[in-house]
C-alpha cells in the first residue's frame, strides 16, 4: 500500500483545480458584469444636480413685521414664514390642541427662542393645493390661519388642521436660525 495516498490525503488532481479556478473566475467576471449593468439603474435614482443645489435656502426675515408672511421657495415648494405678534402667539398658545385631528402643540412646531416665527411648507396636506392666508386680503379660514380653496381645509395660526378633509397639519420643514434674522431651510 502506497503511504502517499492515504484516505486523509487524496491525490492532487490538476484538472479539478483548474476547473475550480475557471468556475470562480467566470463567477467573478459575471458579478462584475452584473454590477456594471445595475449601477446606472441605481445611480439614476439619485437626485439631479439642480435638485441638490436647492437642498437648502437661506431667507432674511429682518424686515418681516408682526402679522406679515414671506413666501420662499424650497425644493420647488412654497414655504410660508409668518411672523406672529405677541398677542397672536398668546392666543394660539391658549387654545386646546389635544383633541385636534393631528394633535401637536404650537411649541412643537416652532424653534425655542424664535417662537414668533412660524415656518411651514405652504402645501395643503389633502391634495397638494396652496392654501390662502399668506398674503394681505386673502381669506384665512375660520381659525385665522390658512384656508385651502380647493376642498375647504381650514388651518389655524400654527398650521394645524382644524376643519375640512386634510388628514394632518401643514408640514414644518427642517430649518435653523443662522442669526437673529437669517433662516436656513433644509
Residue with cell 436647492: 54
Confirm whether 82 is a catalytic residue: no
What is d(CA 83, CA 100) in angstroms, rounded to the nearest whole number? 23
Give me the catalytic one of 9, 114, 151, 154. Answer: 151
Q: Classify the phi-psi angles of 105: left when phi > 0, otherwise alpha if psi is within -120 to 50, otherwise beta.
A: beta
Q: Where are the beta strands (DSSP E) in 75-130?
A: 77-83, 117-121
Q: Which residues contact 83 (CB under 8 A, 6 or more apart)?
A: 61, 64, 65, 66, 67, 68, 69, 116, 117, 118
Read off the C-alpha cell for 183: 433662516
User: Each residue of 134-167: b (16+ CB within 10 Å) or e?
Assistant: beeeeebbebebbbbeeeebbbbbbbbbbebebe
* DSSP assignment of 57-87: EEEE-TTPPTT-EEEEEETTEEEEEEEPPHH
- Supply the residues annotated as catalytic: 151
Amino acid at each position: 500500500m502506497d503511504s502517499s495516498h492515504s484516505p486523509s490525503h487524496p491525490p492532487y488532481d490538476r484538472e479539478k483545480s483548474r476547473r475550480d479556478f475557471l468556475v470562480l473566475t467566470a463567477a467573478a467576471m459575471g458579478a462584475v458584469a452584473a454590477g456594471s449593468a445595475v449601477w446606472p439603474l441605481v445611480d439614476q435614482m439619485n437626485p439631479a444636480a439642480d435638485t441638490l443645489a436647492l437642498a437648502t435656502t437661506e431667507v432674511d426675515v429682518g424686515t418681516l413685521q408682526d402679522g406679515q408672511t414671506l413666501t420662499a421657495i424650497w425644493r420647488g415648494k412654497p414655504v410660508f414664514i409668518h411672523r406672529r405678534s405677541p398677542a397672536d402667539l398668546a392666543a394660539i398658545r391658549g387654545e386646546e390642541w389635544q383633541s385636534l385631528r393631528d394633535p401637536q402643540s404650537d411649541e412643537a412646531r416652532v424653534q425655542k427662542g424664535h417662537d414668533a416665527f412660524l415656518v411651514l411648507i405652504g402645501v395643503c396636506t389633502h391634495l397638494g393645493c396652496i392654501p390662502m392666508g399668506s398674503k394681505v386680503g386673502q381669506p384665512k379660514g375660520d381659525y385665522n390661519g390658512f384656508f385651502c380653496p380647493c376642498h375647504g381645509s381650514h388651518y389655524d395660526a400654527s398650521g394645524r388642521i382644524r376643519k375640512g378633509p386634510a388628514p394632518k397639519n401643514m408640514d414644518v420643514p427642517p430649518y435653523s436660525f443662522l442669526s437673529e434674522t437669517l433662516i436656513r431651510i433644509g
